[in-house]
Structure 1
């Protein structure tokens, strides 16, 4: 019959009862095949995680089975039910009972339950009021109850797990995600610009000095150490000039004139034929520009011609610094002696020599290749 959505055979009449009774079937169908034994087939869902003892495989919570449901007892008026099912991995029987007293399920056989319940103990820092006086005071005194509650709250906050506090802090900070996203994007944008500037400066430095290595970021320690480094060459150049003057001087000379320092050579340029005050040793002494040039020429001539001085104890650094100092000094001296022509001194008798003529004779010891007078005399 279409209105009832059931099939009634033609030979059925209402006096023969229901259609199931007429056909000889139970309304639950095959699920009631063991109903005579008090067993009904139901769809059972695991309430917790278990391990099957037959195959030792894990079966997760929520897996469903066709279980045999049977009443095996009562707790007062509440029936105690038994559920038996087969493991889908090894066909091992698993039996689970209900526990109305504790409102739970108990694994009886065939499996092992995963313990996920929590039972408070002394290590969980749970406060138990064992003093009856405190219980009475809490029940009668509202002020004491409030103070006790505040104290309990402080203790619970101190014992709160770090992850829980981080979770609460995160939830409070991200109540407005749009604003927080704006702040983060602004911060990232500034850091990106700063990193781009640092990268450009680093690339410029690498291009300037032709470096093919990665340069590390600048640190405060590097700045402090860089400020302590002194690249001044004034002391070294003075020492090298003193060594040069000592090595090229005559063994019979009583006085070795001190060399002119590089920073004092500029004082000679505005003075051509006048006297110059030497500030190298702090004392005031008169220096003749022609004498200074002559001494320098004698030193370099001896250094060039004497084979014992060519391999002197000057290292490359000293020679390079001396060469640079000599070049600067020579250029300064050339500026000093502009307009002054140096002529070879004539031979005079010793009895007519004066201090000034001795200086001129000393200057005459230098033989220049471009001097026609010296070549004629030789």
Structure 2
């Protein structure tokens, strides 16, 4: 019997997800805006059974949806596979848009693909007027993720698993199927008569997730639910404590840096502050954080920790000057460096890049430490700075200004919904 036949046989024995069930799942993840054409709910669809089932269920639940199908362009046949998925979706009355990623640099291909995929999905959502993106992670995905995180020694934060709703960049990512077994998703497609693709890599045991998926017992899967419940209790208490500490002992500065009371450095929340200021997706390694705490100053996660200067007491956390090479087109809505978003106006001949060495020549007054200014974004044309961000202190008042807003991607606290 073929692999797909085995899957379909198992699916026939499982109960499809009903429309009422899916509506209840979505109700737990509100808000997602009105059901109107200029504010659709977007769905990330790979063509596999999980995401195709999510698309079918979402279309039954809501009139205005848009499927986003990413072609990673890593294999010659990938474009046709993405196009086939779009055709299958459209036959179900689900509008679909194919997104093609650009050429990847050598090294770290999986990480690059993951980041490029989200950037493409986020941009497509914003262009369509959508504020939420549905993804098809299900209960077994959650169990396997927790098992691998436990193997790596993750703390309570990691062992909370994937959240039903999480804010990332300009959109909220929703996972309504985290309580659904994958067999039920295939059964939903079989009932609807909808075909899907099976990725051969899903059977390749060279990938750790595949081996975990194939080897986990029912008892081990149940154990992961208990691990997650306990971790969530611990983490919620940590979130509340960190929020109180930040409100009392951390001062956010408009140029994207922080003033910290010394006790903040010894808190577990330091990693999230570093992630915020550095514009990274993840907090630094725990051992590296411990070393930074012991030293009381130093560089980590694209940030620098140092004593405040002059008469002020305490510490400052700011974006370090190194590794500021990113250069992006000066288009409205463009994100730069995982920290700042350019709000325009469009400048076809311009680019957004770090102020860098020009900061010294443009510095005015002493309101902002000189070490902070080089990491600010600026509008460049022909190798010259032509405008700096409005609202930023410490820069020449006679310099033209353009609009940037802070967009660190992930909130410092409250990024997950504990009751979902």
TM bucket by the smaller chain?
under 0.3
TM-score w.r.t. the length of structure 2 is 0.18
**Larger Rg over CA atoms:** 1
Structure with a larger share of its residues in strand: 2
TM-score w.r.t. the length of structure 1 is 0.19
Which structure would you say has the larger RCO, counting Cα contacts within 8 Å and 6 or more residues apart? Answer: 2
Structure with a larger share of its residues in helix: 1
